[in-house]
Structure 1
Amino acid sequence: MNKSKKERLFGDHFRQGLTEAEQALIEQVRELCREHIGPNAAAVAQEDRFSWDTFHLLARSGVLATAFPKKYGGSEARQVVRIRILEELGRTCSTAASMVTGADLSTRAIVAGASERLKEQLLPQLCTGKTQCAFALTEPGAGSDVRGIQTKVHKEGSRYVISGSKKFITRASTADWFVVIGRLTESDAKFVALIVPRDAPGLTISEDEPKLGWYGVPIASLELRDVAIANTHRLGEEGDGFNLAQDALLRARIGHAGMALGRAMGALEIASSYVVERQVSGKRLSEHQGVQWMLAEMVVQVEATRALLTLTAEKYDREAPDVALFASMVKLQATDLCMKVVTDALQLTGGRGFLKAFPLERFFRDAKLNQIGEGSSEVHKTIIGRDIVRRAVAAERHPCLKPGPLVDY
């Protein structure tokens, strides 16, 4: 049997509603992972330098273009397709997956808020990978709390002047453009989104910051000191910066979930292959009930989370009003689960899992950032908990409860 046609541990049951073209795109990504991305993933993870080979491969194959409108050369893929692409990429290489989610995060505000002239100028180049953009939101004292941003933007005639600091900016060292979110000094409650070129006077980009994992997509800090930008480079109207940032983060949270879930699937596949080969106490490791129970728990949780991810993507595609809440749910569930599954998979592979030559060492280091980026797990627990409490006040009363205050029981 051809290797590419062998049955996989995790089936394609969540692809049943996709079109033939969408199915073909996922198969294309699967083949890229099989032939190029997977075999090269270990080498990419050796040093935290931008992986141009991976980036150009994703651009040539049209995978980057899935985030962009068809009018500007993209394929404008639905979220139900993008999550399956991110599963495939996350299963083999965090670098490749984060390049796809990063292209979406950094350009979403342009797609949603730029003037037609600006879109025509920027999007075709970004879509094909000829240029790159970075999303400059996070600051030393503000990240998930967008309202805590302190970067100042004030108006001077037909231009805006920006001053502030940005931190943890992915691909800052390679970006040609930056989407910068700041607070309007003339009206402190209003946020403004501006597109800033790399060579803008007053913009300083730091050296890349060393980090634990996710090699191949470096991060750096920005300093903006009286950076002047024409008002034609504003995204949306004055005051739209907050909503544009939230829209970008919403898509990024779904992307983080897809990437993390793919990594969990990959880790489980690797561990399963190992336990059916390794012998302990005269029999295969896979024959021990304790090992089978560990595998069973992981598989059930992964499949359940894939279902939640699919539901969330469907909600996004049909613009369901509660999609942001479900994005928080699946981001929390998938990223925490990934950390647990990768840890357990490494435990099953013993000393080999601890070796840099073995993929799980890389999976283990990469898994942590998914729990932190685009809102930590604790942030999303707070979002979900507050929503439950808010809705419980007006929710239908449970039929098993008798009338009257519950404290009277």
Structure 2
Amino acid sequence: MTANACAGRLFGDHFLSRLNVDEQAMVANVRRLARDALGPRAAEVAQRDVFAWDNFRLLAREGVIGTAFPREYGGTDARQVLRIRIIEELGRVCSASASLVTGADLSCRAIVAGASDDNKARLLPALCRGDIQAAFALTEPGAGSDVRGLSTTIRREGDDYVINGRKKFITRGTTADWFMVVGRAAHDPSCFIAVLVPRDAAGFAISPEVGKLGWAGVPISSLQFKDVRAQVSDRLGAEGDGFDLAQDALIRARMGHASMALGRAIGAVEIAAAYMVDRKLFGKSLGEHQGAQWMVADMVTQLEAARALVHLAAEKYDSGDPDAGIFASMAKLQATDLGMKVVTDALQLTGGRGYLQDFPLERFFRDAKLNQIGEGSSEVHKTVIGRDAIRRVRTLERHPCLKFESLENY
């Protein structure tokens, strides 16, 4: 064990006390992988936006990918309170590695929840081992966070479904063997259907990978469906379950985005603080200057508060609380906006050094933005949260300091 492995961490492990012994061992193993393998090669992974196969195979071999799968198919069926800790640890060093874990869950969650027993037995063990991959085909040119805006149609013809439409921003498009496609029933636009489509289906086209600002290692593509046929036996859930299956996957993915943003921000503060100790300015270290200390104080305080909110959202999901979706939106909004701010401030503290490509914060800065956009932008979640709050007010207990009449009469 290295000296660094024995050293303490700037951000405490207080949340680990909520995990059982096996869960704590998983976090410790992920921390080891981040320290010994994923962190040291993160800069190399970020140089080319091709799928990070070495990282994926390592995470699959170590059982980290398997945390998204049931035990009966080789996984560990991990609680969300564990998964957010895993993603935070990976996000601290490598966005691609964290995204490989969240992406496995996002792309496979509907299969776990809604596939037939035969398809579960056929696909889930191989997905869990990393032998094959799946992709979550939801977003379209005219519909992303608003699932009800989808225009892809799915029409029943005998024992087949016929799919027509387009999808974009699809992670793992060029590496997936199976695609979980969500669309509207042709006979009833209010009915959403989710179905599995194999990569080699006739009429199914996958675009070349599209370059992007950050998150190298997890490339994206667009998909085209022209009279693509999928077997009715490959439907996920019943007809009409497509919306709920997609929403469940998105709730988990939003907590994943929040955890990744927090992990990256934690890493950014650690890097900036280390620089502040070494950097001399006006006869003393940068860390001895009150202005710099106050910036760090704001960052660590706000990050710990955001970690608590993300943990609460995970607890609500694990317990089946009906408010889990709203709290996932709150957690994603708070953590991803804060993550962008913290990474920006950390880069500011490191000055010109932070702006160089051979220093980690340049990569952290480019990666941070997508967390504010993916699986619902911050503005979308503000709308969702605000609408829910106003709806609740109409039926909740009236504040005891108010009169029992219209407030317009004050």
Looking at structure 1, the residues matched to 403 and 50 of structure 2 have their Cα atoms a distance apart, in angstroms, of 64
Query: SS of 2:392's equivalent?
Result: helix
Aligned to 1:407: 408
Q: CA deviation at 1:392?
A: 1.3
Partner of 1:372: 373
Cα distance 1:186–1:403, how it changes in 2: closer, same or farther (>3 A)? closer
Partner of 1:236: 237
The C-alpha deviation readout for 1:75-107, integer Å capped at 9, x for no partner, is: 111000000001100000000000000000000
| Residue type at the aligned position of 2:376 | G
Name the counterpart of 1:394: 395
- Residues 1:102 and 2:117 aligned together: no
Q: Determine helix, strand or coil for the equivalent of 1:319.
A: coil
Counterpart Cα distance in 1 of 2:409 and 2:232: 62
Q: Aligned letter for 2:18?
A: G
Name whichever of 392-401 and 362-371 sits farther off: 392-401
AA partner of residue 120 (structure 2): K
Amino acid at match of 1:90: G
Aligned to 1:162: 163
Instruction: Show CA shifts across 1:168-196 (max 9, x none).
Output: 00010111110000111011211110101
Identity %: 65
Secondary structure at 2:162's aligned position in 1? strand
Superposed displacement of residue 400, structure 1: 2.4
Q: Kindly report which structure 2 residues correspond to 1:167-316, keeping only aligned pairs within 5 A, or say none.
A: 167-316=168-317
CA distance in 2, matches of 1:55, 1:39: 15
**Correspondence for 2:345:** 344
1:403 deviation in Å?
A: 3.9
Secondary structure at the aligned position of 1:191 is classed as strand
* Letter matched to residue 324 of structure 2: V
Output one character per residue of 1:345-385: Cα deviation in whole Å (capped at 9) or x when no partner. Answer: 00000001100100000000000000000000000000000
Specify the alignment match of 2:324 in structure 1: 323
Number of the residue aligned with 2:85:
84
- Distance in 2 (alpha carbons) for counterparts of 1:66 and 1:262: 18
Cα deviation, residue 155, structure 1: 1.0
Tell me the residue number matched to 1:151.
Answer: 152
Query: Tell me, which stretches of 5 or more residues in structure 1 are unaligned?
Result: none
CA distance in 1, matches of 2:393, 2:120: 44
State how far apart, in whole Å, the 2-side matches of 1:233 and 1:156 are: 14
**Count of aligned pairs:** 409
**Aligned residue for 1:363?**
364
- The answer to whether 1:56 aligns with 2:53 is no
Given the two structures, how large is their TM-score scaled by the length of structure 1?
A: 0.99
Residue 404 of structure 1: CA displacement?
3.0
How far 1:68 sits from its partner (Å)?
A: 0.2
Q: Structure 1: which amino acid aligns with 2:274? A: S
The answer to whether the aligner puts 1:32 opposite 2:30 as a matched pair is: no
SS in structure 1 of the partner of residue 372 of structure 2: helix
Separation in 2, partners of 1:116, 1:223: 29
Distance 1:402 1:198 in 2: 63
Query: Residue deviations 1:22-63, cap 9 Å, x none?
Result: 000000000000000000000000010111101101010000
Whole-Å separation in 2 of the counterparts to 1:407 and 1:5: 63
**SS in structure 2 at match of 1:276:** helix
The Cα shift of 1:396 comes to 1.9
Deviations along 1:93-142, one digit per CA (max 9) or x if unpaired, are: 00000000000000001000000001000000000000000000000000
- Find the aligned partners of 2:247 and 2:240 in 1 and give their Cα distance: 13
